[in-house]
Structures are given as structure tokens and as C-alpha cells.
Amino acid sequence: MKEEYLWDKTGEDPEIEGLEKALQVFRYKETEPPALRSNVVAFKTKENQSRRVLFFGLAVAACIALAVLALGVWMQISNPQPKGEGLVETVVPKDGFASSDDLEIKEDETRKEMPIKPVAKIRRFAPSATQQNQARNSEIKLTKEEQYAYDQLMRALSITSSKLNLVKKKV
Amino acid sequence: MKPLFNNSIKILLLTLFIFTAISVNAQDPARLQFEKLKKLEDKAVDVVEVNVDGKLLKLAKRVLAKVNDKDAEKVAEAIKGLKGIYVRVYNFEKENEYNPSDVDEIRSQLNAPGWQKLANVRSKKNNQKVDVFTMFTGDLLSGIAVVVSDSKSIALVNAIGPIDIDLLVELSGHLNIPEISIEKTDKQQKKEKPE
């Protein structure tokens, strides 16, 4: 076996030549690529688009859900409800002041019946206008909620006016 | 898939941004933040905390309208445009039991644009400090803040919306607005009520 023929086809090597002839049918022939079948569909574009729309819709829905959740959290934070640990603590019953029992009942009733906002927290020395208001408003029939709201407003205004009076006296 | 993820993130960020913007703007500029004073509740012997706004205020106004009394009518007129009123009073047993920086924090809120100083009193006696600030929107009063502090007490009032200050002062002690004196000491009360 001559090595040269195998590498650069110089000289003669009948054995290799015989093998070449036998395998000639399998030799590479440069021809055109086979034509695709006419009924082949390359991409299902509509399905992809609908899937994309579906995902987009889901993303938007998730965002809306998150937004609603954020809004709920924000509202909860901005309007904190009174804690259940008791709004009223020791109240000294003195002239013109409500007793602690009165106040506690009032606050508890309010908590049960009106799920309205902040309300009030009073600890000791709570000068309550409740009794006065109840006496003055005895002619008008008020609901507990109305009475409570009125008392809170009057309490706030009384403190405000007393402070403004103080300022007036000082200035 | 990647552009979809990017879009979702963008939408999420935009939503968060919008909600942040809403939450910031929703807060009335005349509303003071009293949250930092919560810690004083444990130290104080007397605490008064009153928040009247929203439904509660509407309800109270409705009651005021029902009361057949001239003073009630005046009060109703004085607070016609009121949107909310927030009051905090802390009384302490001993002097200097609270940190003055807690009140200064509230006063610093009144340095925000819009607030105008109406009155300012400083007294060495009891280290009393009195500040009254107002906020106007155009010609209309949109907020008032009163900060009174001395060595043994702190009182804060924050009213949102127009309120007739003069009328309120005039009505002090009338109707159902009892002339209480939380800020007064025992000595002061004895002086006013000689035995």
C-alpha cells in the first residue's frame, strides 16, 4: 500500500482505487435542496399573538390587584382604627366630669355600632361635655352615634377655644 | 416572553408611582402629623386625644343644625367649612418629663411653606411657649395650628378648613363648649376660685 496515493493521489494503489470505485455512488453531489411541501405551515402566528394578549391581560390584572391591595393598605394606614385595647382609661369623676363607667360604655357602644374613624382617647382628667350635652339635647332625640359625634366635636372645640383664649390673654 | 415581563414590570412600577403620588397628594397640607407624640402617652398622666373628621364631623354638624339655640347656630356658622379638627393634650406629673424635641418636631412641621405665624409667645415662667399658625389658600383660611407647651404639659390643636377663630373664642364657655382649663396648674385654678 502506497501512502502517497492515499494522501495526494500520486502514483498508483489498485486496492484504494477499487474501494473508491465501489463507494463512488455515495460521493457528494452538489444539487438543489429538496423543495418543501406546499402544505407546511411554518409559524402559527395567531395562536402566539393570542397567548401574548392573554399574558398581557394577566399582567394587567395582577397589577390592578396589586394596586387595589396597595390602596387598601394605604387607606388602612391613613385611617387607623382604634385599637381594641380600650380607648378609655382611668377617669377621675369630679364636678362636671363624666364617670369612667359612662365613658367606657359610650366608647364601647360606639365601637360596636359605628365603624367610623379615629374617635377619641381620654385618660384621666377628661373633662367631658357628655352629661351637659345630654341634658341640653334632651329635647332633641339623638342617636348614640349623633350624640357621640357631637360630644367629640364639642370637646375638640372646647379645647381649641380654651387654647385660643390663652393665646388671646398672652398676646 | 421577555418583552412581556418587561411590560409587566413597567406597568407595576407605573402603578406604584401613581399610588405613591396619590397618597402624597391626598394628605391635606394643613394636616399635622402627631404620630411621633404617641410615645408620650406612656409618660403623661393625662392624655386627651380627639380626632373629628369625615363622617363623624358631618354627623356632629347635622346635630348642630338640629339644636335650636342661638349659640349652636353661631358654632355651626363658625365651623361651616371645617374639614377636620385634631386635638392632643398631654399633662405630666413632673416638670421636664418630656423631651422638648418632640414638640419642636411638630413646630418644625409648621415651617413648611403655606404656614404663617399668627402669634408667638415665649415665657420664662414654666418655660411656656405658645405658637399659633395659620394657612391660607387664596383668601380662605385652610388650616390653623396651635402649639402650647410648658414644662408640664403639651397641647396641640390642628383644624383643617376655614374656621371662625374670633367667634370660637367668643363662644368659649357658652353652649356645650365648657371653658375647661387643662393647661392651668392647681395654683392658677386656686387663684381664680378664691376660697
Per-residue pLDDT tens digits for B164-173: 888 888 877 6
Q: Could you tell me the pLDDT band of residue B86, with boundaries at 50, 70 and 90?
A: very high
Are the C-beta atoms of residues B41 and B90 closer than 8 Å to each other? yes
Same-domain check for residues A25 and A71: no
Name the residue with higher pLDDT: B107 or B26: B107
Lowest-pLDDT choice from B25-29, B102-106, B114-118: B25-29
Residue A95 lies in a domain: no
Lowest-pLDDT choice from B8-12, B15-19, B147-151, B174-178: B174-178
Same-domain check for residues A27 and A54: no
Chain A residues closer than 8 Å to B183 by CB: 162-163, 166
Name the residue with higher pLDDT: B12 or B30: B30
What is the rounded average pLDDT of the residues B14-35? 72
Same-domain check for residues A24 and A48: no
Q: Could you tell me the pLDDT band of residue B66, with boundaries at 50, 70 and 90?
A: confident
Same-domain check for residues A105 and A156: yes
d(CA A16, CA B27): 95
Q: How far is CA B160 from CA B1, B79, B97, in A?
A: 51, 10, 30
Residue A58 lies in a domain: yes
Lowest-pLDDT choice from A72-76, B25-29, B127-131: B25-29
Which range marks the domain in which residue A48 is found? 44-78
Look at the pTM and tell me if it is higher than 0.90.
Answer: no
Please choose, from the candidates A114, A100, A124, the residue with its C-alpha nearest in 3D space to the C-alpha of residue A150. A114
Residue A87 lies in a domain: no
Chain B residues closer than 8 Å to A117 by CB: 51, 53-56
What is the model's pLDDT at position B181?
44
What is the model's pLDDT at position A43?
64
Same-domain check for residues A159 and A122: yes
B138: closest CA of chain A, how far (Å): 23
Q: Residue A62: what residue type? A: A
Same-domain check for residues A57 and A104: no
For chain A, residues with pLDDT lower than 50 are 81-120, 122-128
3-state secondary structure of A122: strand
A31: closest CA of chain B, how far (Å): 40
Please choose, from the candidates B117, B120, B119, B114, the residue with its C-alpha nearest in 3D space to the C-alpha of residue B140. B114
Q: Could you tell me what percent of chain B has a pLDDT over 90?
A: 28
Chain A residues closer than 8 Å to B52 by CB: 118, 149, 152-153, 156
Same-domain check for residues A71 and A106: no
Give B89-114 pLDDT, tens digit per residue. Answer: 999 998 888 988 888 999 999 998 89
Same-domain check for residues A26 and A50: no
A108: closest CA of chain B, how far (Å): 16
Same-domain check for residues A18 and A62: no
Three cell numbers written together for B46: 393625662
Domain total in chain A? 3
Residue A94 lies in a domain: no
What is the model's pLDDT at position B185?
44
Does residue B79 sit at the A interface (CB-CB below 8 Å)? yes
Same-domain check for residues A122 and A64: no
Name the residue with higher pLDDT: B36 or A84: B36
